[in-house]
Amino acid sequence: EAGVVQSPRYKIIEKKQPVAFWCNPISGHNTLYWYRQNLGQGPELLIRYENEEAVDDSQLPKDRFSAERLKGVDSTLKIQPAELGDSAVYLCASSSRTKRSEQFFGPGTRLTVL
């Protein structure tokens, strides 16, 4: 079984530029999560999707961050414009309806904003 796939793995951009991250969850997993992990800290939830619906986006900075999961499978997280403080690892995770308590994480996208 393939795990959670994320791309790109690394991204370096200049501040004020836009950037997008892509996530493909484990097949059949209806719940998808985006986390941000700053250096030396634990991940923090940005947004959670149940199928196509964003059910928890309270921690998403909505002025510059947006996310979508149009068909309830893949998801894209976008930052526009990026700021220096957005440098972090962006992790995607997914879980199934039958085993909601266990989340499987992708390798993450390491973003560096210069």
Partner 1 sequence: KQEVTQIPAALSVPEGENLVLNCSFTDSAIYNLQWFRQDPGKGLTSLLLIQSSQREQTSGRLNASLDKSSGRSTLYIAASQPGDSATYLCAVREGTAGNKLTFGGGTRVLVKP
Check binding of 91 to partner 1 (CB under 8 A). yes
Check binding of 46 to partner 1 (CB under 8 A). no
Give CA–CA dist 31/54, Å, rounded.
10
Q: Residues, the chain, total?
A: 114
Distances in whole angstroms, Cα of residue 9 to Cα of each of 47, 57, 66, 85: 20, 24, 19, 19
Give CA–CA dist 98/112, Å, rounded.
36
Among 65, 95, 111, 113, binds partner 1 (CB under 8 A): 95
Contact 77/90 with Cβ under 8 angstroms?
yes
Smallest distance, partner 1 to C-beta of residue 101, A: 6
Smallest distance, partner 1 to C-beta of residue 110, A: 7
Among 61, 72, 81, 107, binds partner 1 (CB under 8 A): 107
Binding site for partner 1 (CB under 8 A): 4, 9, 31, 40-45, 48, 55-56, 91, 93, 95, 100-108, 110
